[in-house]
Structure 1
């Protein structure tokens, strides 16, 4: 009997340590816990790895605040921990900078010289290639009378006459010659042809030379030096050539004329030149000019 009671007492759970004697022990409330999990699973939950972002994700290049702070701190450490150059390295760097600066200056001066020489060659080439037209314009300006053969075949059209005949508008000439062959003057078997050209106005380049001579003369009088006075004409012409080159202007001219079958597609006529605001058209036969003058008389237009 006693052995049975002892066995039952041994099976009872141990008594919990309660408060001091004389006080009533209260049972502790049990905590609500979930199902027990293995220890390895709990550790994995505590230390979660950072999810990797895909390359296509637009947030892949974004950095967290900690990463940005670390990057800025690294840059500041690099900036303030930079060592000063040694004297030898400083001299070498200074020499390299001076040489590169001299190279830049030399190349700049070479470019300026190349551009200046290019402009000089263009100006001189223009006056050399147009020397005949400039000479003829100057001779006409001083009342040079052409030969009778040219005078009787040349049609002169003033700007006012061009407006009245609707030959001139918007700075362009559109001339219609009489229905006669421009080379032989016949009226049989004619075909209409067109001639288009851009005529140089040689008055502007010559006016530029006059401006250059005027400037050089004033300079020689102002400085009152014999050497300046001696070289002023040459300098004035040279300066005037540049001024005249940039003042030059071309006028568009279109001439509609007639040709017989024998002289179709000729390349000799018409010859066109400009004198001031007037236009001169040279034909191959005087009958073309006579027919043009008669047409003006019938229309009551006076061609000064």
Structure 2
């Protein structure tokens, strides 16, 4: 399977923001690293097939609350080196931060593998909590795009005992990923064997995202005991419909779960803007305001 071309939607219908907070952050106020000493563990094996994580731990007396970070990549890529500046910043603010690999479609993976691998990473880190200076009772998940889906679905596993989840522009209901977009984009998502369909049904499938797999949909796993969620989307996201996080937000709140949703006005799909040759469009995501809200959320719940 070759990597598909990144195709952005040509139109985006606005989603309801009446229960969300709309932000337009000052892009001149970017997070700044302080070069705080951190203990770094690199390429720690934690699961088959050959998956590893990297870990930043603040120096000094612990134990530290843990944030497990899952990058995006359309379920085609999962490079654990992504988000380096963000992960450094979180660690400088008092969190142990692990960035994990997970199996993609190109590696024969499906959603069940990804959920199991997030779980395996959390369990491995907890088993080594004394070694790393981690508090095993204070664990949060953070994911972006494809990683946002995985941390959402894994975070709703009741026995994993996750305290908080940060989901940025993640797919939630695969069949609705293009709901806000133009007709051509909607048709493209529904092609048999699309990467999203392969992640849903397994590599080599001829099914589509519209062939439902109830277990895969996080909306079917929400209970009143779910962890607190902080959800993010750009109003100009042309890759994942902004209404995806809105669906999750509404369902969490309906179940009595603590959920906060932020919409960044005029902003697209995170750091993907850099790959598309528009690095300035990614700047809102790394501002003091946006990252600061997530740091405050994690401190409150961890």
Structure 2 length-normalised TM: 0.19
Report which of the two has the higher share of strand.
Answer: 2
State the structure with more CA Rg.
1
Report which of the two has the higher share of helix.
Answer: 1
Structure 1 length-normalised TM: 0.19
